[in-house]
Structure formats: structure tokens, C-alpha cells
Amino acid sequence: MERSQKIQRIACIVFFLICLFFPPFPRVFSDQTSDNTNSYSKLVSLYKLYFERQEELFKKLTFKFSADQVVKGGTSFKLTLEDNLGKKWIFKEKGANRVIAQRLYTLFGLNAPEIHKIQLVLNGKLCVGTLQEFIPGLSTLYSYAPASISATGLDYLMKAQVVDWMMRDHDPHSSNFLIISFDKQNRADELMRIDQDCACLDHEVSVLDYERMVAIDKNLNSSAASNFYCRIEEAYQEKKIDLDLKRAYVFVRFIADFPNSQFEEVIWDLKSRGEDSFSKNDPGMLKKKYEFFVNYLVLNKRKMSEDFKKLYSKLAALRGARADFSENLRRSDNLEEYCANLKNKLNTLEKTNSSINSNPGDRPVRISAIASLDGFRVMYRIYYVCWSEKGDLKKECKKALKTLARLGSGAQPNEKKAISLYMQEIRKIQAGKGMTYPFNQINKLVDPIF
């Protein structure tokens, strides 16, 4: 009997602690009134209509291999395609998480490139991945210090940081931000986040928590050093830049106050639209993990405002100031602004949609090019071992050459050419001559055109 009572007492204590730290998901903030909920409903309705129309247009597009391979940087396999409207698109393998990240950025009023899931038959082999629109003539924040960014640009980065943290994206380096325009002082002004390959995956730490550790404790390491949000926070702490914390906090509360039911509806809708085609090919987004993923997003959304205040209060204190989060703007202003933005995008989309042939484009898209996705994966492993100095390089090279020889024996001529180039590079590395290109330029090993 005593043992039973003891177990009951322990169970009550555990239940109390769970409720204390992880309460159920009520409408947490007092301003989640019916009017507020209706305002969010309007935004969600416009958001859904916009992406329905965008997908309708995308299905009408036809694609061909582009003679101008515009993107060769990064460590992922890339090909450039061109549609019948003359727009270029970048193909990358897998990536249901990229689609979700882009959709959430759009929902929250942040610039993001158009991106769609697609099936590509490359040299006779089916590849599942995404097409992301390529925006020509733009530079990135790679060579820009925080002081070279306008107030508008810094506002975008603070908002992007919050959304990336919610999605657990740990890869916001400077090259992942395009500069759309400059202000009169030639500072980076309008920005756009791209290449969200690490969003919505199952990582141990979320960005905002990690940045608190980096910015407050000054515990910089190689991973944090490339994180552009860390540079922004460091510049703020050292009084090199000013940040509008009030405005940013209004945005934080706008997301935190998003009614849970409507927020979950958006996320589950994204699964039905983007995840099913990836479930067998993208281990990071398997259906069995999706419910956990949704719950984690909701949990992050709920605690976002408190975490934001803690982070920037400490940063302000290190700066010798006191952070002020009093709201001088209404959250309804955000809703009205984002609704108007989506309406404008929708109008532009409708005009384009009505101007092109209504016949659907061929799916899957068939491409012939000097390329091998299977060969790239093998080459990636060798470059990674060289770059990280982890693993037995001689053993890995020997294994890789056998694998490539097997892949080449049954491949089409264009794929054989690519595999031959990969084998040539591995033999060079095997001979102790090192990599021809840095790890983040691995795509330069094979030119898909020649």
C-alpha cells in the first residue's frame, strides 16, 4: 500500500513539473480575441490561395537544360534549368524542408525565392528534389559587415533570425542572404534569405538558444563564426549598429500570437502538399516524424517572445543599456501589411497565369547533361574526408573508385563522362596532390555543358 501511495505521489510531482514547464497549448496571450483570430484567418486564406495559384502556374511551365549553369558554389548537387518564360531555376536533390521554410517565410511576410518540389529524369535516372527560382544580378552579404546594412536590412535579419530559430535552421551564413536593393548610402537594404537546406530538420539546438550561448558567453567556434546572426548580435553589443528592438518584438509577438489551430493547419497543409513525394527519399522528413516536427514548431512559437526578450536583454546589458520592448506598433498592422503584400503578389501571379498556355508541362522533366548524381555523392564523401580530415582517405578512395567503376558500367554516355571526371579527381587525391577545388566548390569538377 505504501509503495502504491509513493508511486502516486511521484506521478503527481512529475505531472506538476510537466504542467509547469510544458503546459498544454491554450491561447496563451490575452489579445487572441475572436477579432484577432479572424484577422489571422484572412491571412491564412490569402496565403493558401496565393500558393494554389503559384502551383497552377508552375504546372504549366516546361523546362529544359540551361546552357548557362549559373550556380556552381556550395556542397550540394546543382543543375540550372530554364522554363518557357525564360526564367532560370536551380535544381537541388531532396528538400521538402526547403519548401516548408520558403512557405513559412512568405506567411510571415519575409522575402523568399519561389521553390517547388519536382521529379527530374537525369540521363535516364529519376531524381527527386526542388526547383528554386534564380534571381540574376544579385550579390550576397558575404563581404558586408553589419554596419554596411541599412535599418531596413537589419530589421529583416532580426525577423529572419526568429523564423530560422523556430525552424531550427543552423546555417544562416552570409552567402545565404541576397541583396535585392541598396539605399542612398549604398548600404544593403532589401534582403532575401535563400538555400534553407538545414531548416526543419532534427537538430539538437535551435538557433536562438545557440546564439545566446555564442553572443553572451563569447564561446565562438568554427560553426558559430560563419553564422551571420552572431555577427549582427556582436556588432549590436559593441555599439557598431543599432537595432529596433520594439519593432522586432512586435513581429515576434505577431508570430507567437498566431492561433495554434490555424498555425498547425498551415503546417499540416504543407505536409500534404510537399512531404508525400519525399517520404521515401528524404529521411529528415519522414511521416512518422512530422507530428513531432509540428509540435516542436508550436512549442517554439509559444516560447518565442520570452526567449527573444531574454536574449536581447542580455545583449543590451553587455552594451551598457536597457532593452525596451514596449510595443509602439499594433500587431494588426503586421497582419494588414502582410495581407496587402499577398494580394499584390496574387494579382501579379494571376496576370502571368492568364498569359501563358493552359496545357500542363511534361512531368517528370527529362534532362540530358554531363552529370551524375550518384557519382556526385561518392565524390562528396571523398571531398568531405579531405576537408574534415576525418576517416581513412586511402581506404575511402579505393572504395570510391570501385563504386564509380560499377556505376559507370551501366550508365548512359553523359553520365559516364561525369563519372570519369570524378574518378580522375580521386586518383589525383590518391596520389597526394590534394583537391582541385575547395569543398564548397565541388560542383566545378564537372561542367554539365561540355
Report yes or no: 378 and 400 within 8 Å, Cβ to Cβ. Answer: yes
C-alpha distances (whole Å) from 170 to each of 32, 86, 162, 165, 194 are 31, 34, 12, 8, 13
- Can you read off the three cell numbers belonging to residue 342? 499577398
pLDDT for res 305? 87
pLDDT for res 409? 94
* 448 exposure class (CB count in 10 Å sphere: 0-12, 13-18, 19+): buried
pTM, whole model, 2 decimals? 0.83
Report yes or no: 95 and 197 within 8 Å, Cβ to Cβ. Answer: yes
State yes or no: pLDDT of 429 exceeds 60.
Answer: yes
Q: Which residues of 37-46 are buried (b: 16+ CB within 10 A; e: fewer)?
A: eebbeebbeb
pLDDT tens-place string over residues 389-402? 889 999 999 999 99
pLDDT tens-place string over residues 188-217? 999 999 988 878 765 444 545 545 445 444
pLDDT tens-place string over residues 64-99? 999 888 888 888 999 999 998 899 999 998 888 888
pLDDT tens-place string over residues 91-128? 998 888 888 899 999 999 999 999 998 999 999 999 98
pLDDT for res 226? 65
pLDDT band at 9 (very low <50, low <70, confident <90, very high): low
pLDDT for res 215? 47
Count of CB atoms situated within 10 Å of the CB of 329 = 14
- The mean-pLDDT minimum among 37-41, 153-157, 443-447 falls in 37-41
Q: How far is CA 421 from the centre of its chain?
A: 31
